[in-house]
Structures are given as C-alpha cells and as structure tokens.
Amino acid sequence: MKRTLLAACAIAAIVAADPAAAQQKTIKIGLISTFSGPPAAIGNDMRNSFELALDHLGRKLGGLPVEVIYEDDQTKPDVGVQKTQKLIESDKVDFVVGYIWSNVLLASLKPLVDSKTMTVVTNAGASQIAGEQCSPYVFSTSWNNDQTPQAVGLYMNQKGVKTAFLIGPNYAAGKDMLEGVAATFKGQIIGRELTRWPDQLDFSAELSKARAAKPDAIFAFYPGGAGVQFVTQYAQSGLKGQIPLYTAFTIDELSIPRLKDLAVGIPGAQEWVNDLPNAENKKFVADYKAKYKLAPSFYGAQTYDAAYLIDSALKATKGDTANKDALRKAMEKADFKSVRGGFKFGPNHIPIQNFYLQDVVKDGDDYRLKTVATIVENDQDKHHDKCKMPN
C-alpha cells in the first residue's frame, strides 16, 4: 500500500514539474498529400523532405518522439475531407501538415478549424486562407497563390511585354494565378483561358487561340504532369520560337528531368530555389540528393520548413499541445532557421518573403534551376488586411 502511495506521489510530482511531458509521450502528425497517379511525384517529394527534416532533428520534434501518418487525397476534395476527418477524429493527431491543392484545402478547412487542429499548409495557397477565412490554427510555409504570379507579372513589365495571353486550369489556384498576373502586369491582357482540371492534358485548342491573338507573351500555370504536357505541346506547336512563355509552378525540379531542353529559356518565379546560399539550404539540398538520388523541389523545401516550425513551437511550449493559444503564439514567432534564409509570418500566418527569377540551365548532361535575380523583396500578400485574426 505504501509503495502504491509513493508511486502515485512520484507521478504527481512529475506531472506538476512537467505536465506536458506526462500527458504527451509522442507527437502525432498527419501529412496529407497526393501519393497516387501522376501528381504522386509531388507528394513523394513532400514526404521525403519531411522525413529528411525528422532525420536532421533526431527523429524528434520538440525533443519528443514522432509518429507520422501519411494520407493520400487522390487530388479529390471529397477524399481530402475524409482523410482530414480521419486524422482528426480517429487518429487524434496533434498537427496536420501538407495539402498540395487549393480546392482540397478549402474543402478540408472547416473540420480543421472546428476541431482547433494546428495545421501547417505546405503548398496550397488559397486566397481565402490569407484573407477572410484566416484562422488562428492554420499556418502556411508556402505562399498565397497570388504572390508568385504577381512576381512574374512584374518581371514581364521589366521585359517590356505589352500584351499577354493567360492560360491555366479552372480551379481555385488556377483562377488565383491568373488574377495574380493581372494584378501587377501593366500591359493589356488580350486573352484568358481556363481549362478542365485535372483531366485535361490536351492544350492544342488554347495554344491555337494564343497564336491567333498574337500576344507579346503567354503566361501559363500548370503544376505537375499537366505542366510537362503544356510545355511539350507549346514547343511542338512551334510557339516557343515565336511567343515567349512565362510560367509559375510549371517548371521545377520534378518536371525538368522530363522536359530537359524544352524547359531552357522559359523563366518563372519562386520563393525558393535550390541554389540559395544559406547553410540550412545547402545541407537540405545536399542531404536530400544523397538520400534520395534526386533533387528536391520547392514543394519539399516548404515541407521541410514545416517540420522545423513545429519543432520550434514544441520546444517553446515544452511539448504542451493542449494549450492552443500558447502553441499558436510560439508558431507565430517562427523561431527556426529556414532553407529560405530569413522567415517571418504576416498577421494572417502567410510568410513575408522574397521571390526570385529562376531559369533552367544545362550543366554538363544535367539540367537545373538557377536563381537569376530577386524580383521582389519581403513581399506580403494583398489579402492580409481582410484577415481578422483574434489576439
């Protein structure tokens, strides 16, 4: 009886000294991405990068062991919602990480917010999340959808482009991307086409319309395999030598091995490129290549940062995931070293960051993205003033 009493007193003492350690032995992370079909390359890059971050952190977050549950959204909003609810209700995760597609994220937003599940979006940049639907529980380590195409629009102005034809997929991100270019491009938009998503892979009709319009430039947003198809058909149509193409999220480390020479000379913009010269980025890129025999993409870089963001918050709160306000405030500080260099959040939990001009260069037998210039520094999304975040 005395031993039982002593044991109970000892446990009580541990709880009093460090209640978080007593209540939370393992941090549970749910990572939602696409792991099937052509976009699986994106999901795999995100998973690889999160796993590499865990390797670098000793397979712990905030000093605590980690369990990661990976779920495939199949690019479908309804499936994404089901997987989100499973992670929250059945798996009882502490954090949800991921989301490639804006429409999947928007469909999943309500259960995330209603359950007050801390969420780190590592790609999807739906404008609603940056504005009127911002949440204390939702953070992004990527961007708002408008920001990257806005940087492309600024670069098109620098190149003296006077007329442009815009093409993208007909879903939330596609609409945001075209609006982003339109917001900063000072010339005239003489055509705009939205195509079926995600099943349309023949863009001959849209390219014919662009040819007939005779613009100074074409802007296109097509991620993943659709981007490979678009650039290939653009080159095969003979337009590459006639009308310059500017892109966002179309040419990256995942598509370059398939496009090779076809990608050379097609500029784009991004907040991360593999040759950024900070120490954290050099280690990330080198170790990713060593472990996976591939080059990481921006999808992976954003997901790698997510692990470090969560780690920094758990260290600050001593692993207490129950105190949502303390966890939120710790995450808002973004007290970690990013592969982008400096990293800070705006009031809507969207990063304020640089955007770079990138181009594909041939390096021996290989092709790689190169940072050409900084288009805009410390860019803040245009929706932040619509966000009414509680204190």
- pLDDT tens for each residue of 100-123: 999 999 999 999 999 999 999 999
**Sequence-separated (6 or more) residues with CB below 8 Å from residue 258:** 228
Q: Looking at residues 26-53, what average pLDDT do you find? A: 97
The pLDDT score that the predictor gives to residue 371 is 95
Confidence bin at 21 (pLDDT 50/70/90)? very low
Tokens of 260: 């090779």
Q: Looking at residues 386-390, what average pLDDT do you find? A: 90
Q: Looking at residues 167-190, what average pLDDT do you find? A: 97
Q: Looking at residues 178-184, what average pLDDT do you find? A: 96
* Under 8 Å between Cβ of 144 and 128: no
The pLDDT score that the predictor gives to residue 233 is 98
As a whole number of angstroms, the distance between CA 317 and CA 388 comes to 25
Please give the domain boundaries of the chain with CATH numbers for all domains.
Answer: 2-143+276-349 (3.40.50.2300), 147-270+356-379 (3.40.50.2300)
**What is the CB neighbour count within 10 angstroms for residue 183?**
14
**What is the CB neighbour count within 10 angstroms for residue 202?**
12
pTM of the model: 0.92
pLDDT in tens, 204-242: 999 999 999 999 999 999 999 999 999 999 999 999 989
